[in-house]
Amino acid sequence: MNILLKSATISAPSNTSIHNKKRDIHIKNGKIEKIASRITPANGTKEIKLDNLHVSIGWFDTSVSFGEPGFEERETLENGLKVASKSGFTDILLNPNTNPIPDTGSDIVFLKNSANSTITNLHPLGALTVKSKSEALAELFDMQTMGAVGFYDFKKPISNSNLLKIALLYAQNFNGLVFSYPEDVAIKGKGTVNEGEVSTRLGLKGVPALSEELQIARDLYVLEYTGGKLHIPTISTAGAVKLITEAKKKGLDVTTSVALHNICLTDSELESFDTSFKVKPPLRTTKNNKALLKGLLNGTIDYITADHRPIDIEEKRVEFDNAAYGTIGLESAFGALNNLIGLEDTVNCLTKGRARFNIPLPQIEEGVLANLTLFNPDGEHTFNYDNILSKSKNAIFLNRKLKGKVYGSINNDKMVLNV
C-alpha cells in the first residue's frame, strides 16, 4: 500500500505539534513515512482526497458480538470484521457468545486465525466458566496464553460468590482480567425492561435498578477481599455509577463500560413495543442517562461501547417478551456519540483504554505502523437501512439523526473506504 492522505485534520491530543493541524500523511508498506504541510506524491502513490477529512488513531470497542461459529445467520466473522473496519474500528473485543462457546485455548486460536488478514484486529474474550454455565472455571491460563484478553460469561451473571472469589484469586497468577455481568437474577426475575412508570403502564415485567446495583456491590466487596482485576461491563443506573466511583476512590482495580444506547435513549421508546429497543441491560430513564453521561465524561466509566449484537429477524419479529435481546451499533456509533458530546470527547471515548487489555496504543507519528480512522465530523444525516452493513438489521438507532460520517480505516497495511 502506497497512499497519500491529503489535507487531513489530525486529532492527536498527545502530540501537540500536529493536533488539530491540517497535514498530508504519506503511508507506505503499512508505515507512516512522512507527515508534512504539503507532500508531493511520487509515482505510484495513490492520493486520497476527501471532504473535510479528519484522522485519529483507530477506534476501539470493548463489546462486540458476531455469530460465527454457530450463528452464522446473525453474522459471520468475515463480514463482521468488515463492518467494524468500515465503521472506523481497528480493534475490537469479541464476546464469547458463539456455539460452541470459546472456553479452551484451541477455541481462541480458531478465532485469532480467522482474523489473520483483516483490517480490524480481533481480540477474543474467553468464557470465564466451562460453557458459561457458572459451575467450574474454564481454561483461563491456556486461553490467555493463546491470545484471550479477558474472561467473560457474556451477559450471564456469576451467581456463585465463591466462584467469583476463586476466579479473581486464580487470575492474579497471570495478570488475568475477570468480567462480571451486573445482574442479580433473583431480583430481576422475569423482567425484560426497566421497572418504572413506563413498564407499569405498558404491562411489561420490570427489571429494577436494584438488580444491577446489588450485584455490583457484591462484586466490589469480593474484589476488595481478593484483589485482582475486575471489569464490570455495560452498567445502566445512577446507583451503579456511584458504587464504581466509591470503589475507585478506595483504590480497587475495577473498570466499567456503558452501552451507547443506554446514554442516548430511554424506556419511553418502548411505547411502540418495537423489539429493536429490547436490550440488556434495559433502556432506563433520563435521570439514569444523565448520571451515566456524567460518569463517562469524568472518567468514572472507562469505556463506551456500541454493544454490537446482531440478531436475526426470526428472533426479533415476535412478541416483546419472547424477543431476543440486542442491537447492532458499530455503524451508528460515531454519529450518535458525536451528536451527543461533540468531536473531541467522542474521539477520546472511542480511542482510550487499550492498555487495560494489553493492546498496544497506536500513534500518529513518522516511522510507526499506521492504525488510523478516517472521518468527517460534520453534517447531519438520518440513519437508515442503506447505512446498515451487518447481515442482521436490528438497529436501535434506525431513522435517527446522526452527526458526521466515517470514511473508513487503515491498519495492517490495508485500507477500506466507504466512498
Pairing of strands 229-232, 254-259: parallel
Secondary structure letter of residue 45 according to DSSP: P
If you write DSSP's letter for every residue of 86-153 in order, what string do you get?
HTTEEEEEEPS-SSS---SHHHHHHHHHTTTT-SSEEEEPBPSBGGG-SSSB--HHHHHHTT---B--
User: What Cα–Cα distance (Å) separates residue 230 from each residue in 69, 210, 222?
Assistant: 27, 20, 10
Task: Please state, in angstroms and rounded to a whole number, the distance separating the CA atoms of residues 96 and 74.
Answer: 15
Phi, psi of 399 (to 5 degrees): 70, 20
Residue 51 bears catalytic tag: no
Task: Please state, in angstroms and rounded to a whole number, the distance separating the CA atoms of residues 59 and 362.
Answer: 10
* Alpha helices (H) in 33-191, listed in sequence order: 77-86, 105-113, 140-145, 161-171, 185-188
Residue 67, C-alpha cell as written in the block: 455469530
Which element (helix H / strand E) includes 213?
helix 209-226
End-to-end CA distance of the chain: 18
Catalytic residue among 153, 307, 378, 413: 307
Residue 52 identity: N
88: left (phi over 0), alpha (psi -120 to 50) or beta: left
**Which positions are catalytic?**
307
